[in-house]
Amino acid sequence: MSIKKESRVMLRLNFEISSALDKFLSNRNISAKSVQTLDEVTKALTEKSYNVVVTEISDPGDTLTKLLTKIKSISHTTEIIVVTDKEVEISEDGELAKDIPLHDMVYAFIAKPINENYLATLILKAVEKTQLADRPHCENSQKTIPKETRGTKGASDQAVVLSASVNSLNSAVTITDINQNILYINTAHEKMFGYSTEEIIGEKSAVLYPADDPSGVSGKIYEAILMVGWEGERLGLKKDGSAFPMYEKTSVIKDTDGEHIGIVSVIDDISSRKTLELALKESEERYRTFIETAKSAIIAIDEEANIILYNPAAEELFEYKTDEVRDKEFFMLFPEKHKDLLKDKHTLKNGNKDSFEPGLMFESEGLSKSGREFPIEVSLSRCKIDGRFVLTAIIFDITERKHMETQLLQSSKLAAIGELISGVTHEINNPLAVVIGYSEMMLEEPDLDEESKKAVVSINREAERARKVIQNLLSFARKHNPEKELIQANDVLDTTLGLVNYELIKNKVNVIQNIDPDLPEIVADPNQLQQVFMNLIMNALHAMEDSTKEKDLTILSKIKDGRENFVQLIFEDSGPGIPADILPKIFDPFYTSKPKGKGTGLGLSVSFGIIKEHGGDIYAENTGSKGARFIIDLPITE
């Protein structure tokens, strides 16, 4: 603050303060005149011009209004500083009397007890203001002076523009002296913090900050700003006691000698930005959690079909870690046979808008890192991020669903054929019973000649054979009730192997057993299970019959992976495997690839019926190294 030319200040204060101020002001080339009464004030004003009048007033009512009006009418450029008793209340809207806004008349309004330094600073500021207003080239600026600066007739363009500019800012501006006493706030500050200029001037700037700001800047800030200025986020404290996040920039004000004379700070309320940031963070968090915990694989790809997002469920399904697939082509997750089709469908890459479009859902096959192919369902959606298209694929592993579908189909086929068979066998059983009965009666006939006897024996044998076939068909049609008991599947396996041992040795088949000795017992019909095991072993044996390489039959028993209430039995051979086009048909009744008369094509369908009857599951697949694998799952408790 520099006082350029001789200035005068009138003091109507108590003696002690007056003399202290007198000394302070004369050191700064300002002459001070002390007066006692209000009359003396007006008298002195008519004799000489004064830049500033400082007066104590105990009655803010009429006396003050009259005094202010009088002073302004004698010298409207004189700035007035009013000192009141602490108890003196100023009306809330800052007006002393109707149509006389306080800030139009009074430069500053301070309450006792007087802080001498603060008052001295205020006086200097007021003097400075009058000097700026005194400059000759700013006479015409009155027209454009905003409300806040009215009364400063003759103020310089610079000062007016400066004041108007600061007031038009959306940012709050606080100016304090070096001791952090507030000297000035702008209009935005009033709105932001809720204090009027009158009530905040002279207060410590600390009232604008909560004592417990978690950012911790409050304590350190003062030192920092004196050196270099400060910029950052911290909390502000409104008049109503509520805290709000703000962004503050402070810098030191220096006089022409480089001496620090005050601090200016520009403040922006960043509550809405913070709320937005928080909402964004929360939504990102929700989105991330959704992606991370989703049961389905979620993969996002860019316009080049390169993977940009790959969730933990995708890691599990495809066995690749995120790092192994990031920025790699999406198509690496599909078997060769599907790649071309998918590439064709990839809208983003080939511009074919109709094919790989969002909302599209299709079935395909996935390819895992270990080479496993599995059925999947892919659902696509597309969004635009930063002007680039991102395609998101949600991928479901539908192995289980496909499996259920085929099993259901198989069951319904069997049920239909079962109905048919039981009807037909009933019709055949009766005539067969007659044939068998009469042939037996005839064989007891003593007069029967040898040739006739041979013929009747033949009739009886063939009719018996037919009855056995009918019985088999009936057992297939599941009209036969299983006799279930608590058994050990390993034991049934043992007995079955004993029965076919001779056949196996004759055909040079190595039986490799991998049996879990602690396999839990199950409730099942041992004879029926034996029939199933026998069918599978015989099928394997037939499949390997013509093989020139090692004939291996591997039998496994264990608790099913991931489903502890199921036992699993696996029969694996080293035969030619099952051709892909035949695989869906092998459980069909009467389907056989064997030459006429060699197979009935009922073995697997009977086995299927039995296992289903036991609440289990039976299915076939090809092993990686040729050969077929039959898997049976049976529930431990029924």
- Residues within the interface to ligand ATP (CB under 6 A): 535, 539-540, 543, 573, 575, 578, 582, 586, 591-594, 599-605, 628
**Shortest distance, position 570 Cβ to ligand ATP, whole Å:** 12
Q: Which of 637, 590, 635 is nearest to 617 (CA)?
A: 635
Question: Buried (b) or exposed (e) across 437-466, using 16+ Cβ within 10 A?
Answer: eebeebeeeeeeeeeeeeebeebbeebeeb
Q: Which stretch binds Mg ion (CB under 5 A): 10-18, 243-251, 488-496, 538-546?
A: 538-546
Name the 3-class secondary structure at 244. strand
Q: From the list Mg ion, ligand ATP, none, which binds 601 (C-beta under 5 to 8 Å, kind-based)?
A: ligand ATP
156 near 138, Cβ under 8 Å? yes
Q: From the list Mg ion, ligand ATP, none, which binds 520 (C-beta under 5 to 8 Å, kind-based)?
A: none
Q: From the list ligand ATP, Mg ion, none, which binds 586 (C-beta under 5 to 8 Å, kind-based)?
A: ligand ATP
**What tokens appear for 526 in the block?**
């041992």
Which residue lies nearest ligand ATP, judged by its C-beta?
Answer: 603
Which residue lies nearest Mg ion, judged by its C-beta?
Answer: 603
Task: Determine the Cα–Cα distance for residues 534 and 607; give it in Å rounded to an integer.
Answer: 10
**Shortest distance, position 613 Cβ to Mg ion, whole Å:** 19
Q: Which long-range contacts (CB under 8 A, 24 or more apart) does 210-218 make?
A: 210/235, 210/236, 210/237, 210/243, 213/243
Rg (CA), the chain: 51
Task: Determine the Cα–Cα distance for residues 195 and 12; give it in Å rounded to an integer.
Answer: 28
Return the number of the residue (151 or 603) whose C-beta is nearest Mg ion. Answer: 603
Return the number of the residue (192 or 604) whose C-beta is nearest Mg ion. Answer: 604
Contacts of 558 (CB under 8 A, 6+ apart): 514, 516, 519, 567, 568
Return the number of the residue (235 or 606) whose C-beta is nearest ligand ATP. Answer: 606
**Shortest distance, position 594 Cβ to ligand ATP, whole Å:** 4
DSSP of 141-170, one letter per residue? GGGG--GGGTT-TT--HHHHHHHHHHHH-S
Return the number of the residue (48 or 468) whose C-beta is nearest ligand ATP. Answer: 468
Q: Which stretch binds Mg ion (CB under 5 A): 299-307, 340-348, 408-416, 534-542?
A: 534-542
Return the number of the residue (366 or 603) whose C-beta is nearest Mg ion. Answer: 603
Return the number of the residue (288 or 465) whose C-beta is nearest ligand ATP. Answer: 465
Q: Which stretch binds Mg ion (CB under 5 A): 58-66, 131-139, 495-503, 601-609?
A: 601-609
Q: Which stretch binds Mg ion (CB under 5 A): 364-372, 510-518, 535-543, 622-630?
A: 535-543
DSSP of 348-391, one letter per residue? HHH--TTTS-TT-EEEEEEE-TT--EEEEEEEEEEEEETTEEEE
Q: Which of 603, 567, 621, 577 is nearest to 402 (CA)?
A: 621
Task: Please classify residue 289 by burial: count the beta carbons closer than 10 Å to its beta carbon, then call 0-12 exposed, 13-18 middle and 19+ buried.
Answer: exposed
Return the number of the residue (310 or 476) whose C-beta is nearest ligand ATP. Answer: 476
Q: Which of 603, 609, 616, 627 binds Mg ion (CB under 5 A)?
A: 603
Q: From the list Mg ion, ligand ATP, none, which binds 265 (C-beta under 5 to 8 Å, kind-based)?
A: none
**Shortest distance, position 375 Cβ to ligand ATP, whole Å:** 22
Residue labelled with tokens 């057993």: 513
**What tokens appear for 309 in the block?**
């997002």
Name the DSSP letter for residue 520.
Answer: P
Binding mask 539-568 for Mg ion (x = CB under 5 A): x-----------------------------
Return the number of the residue (36 or 548) whose C-beta is nearest ligand ATP. Answer: 548
Residues that bind Mg ion (CB under 5 A): 539, 603
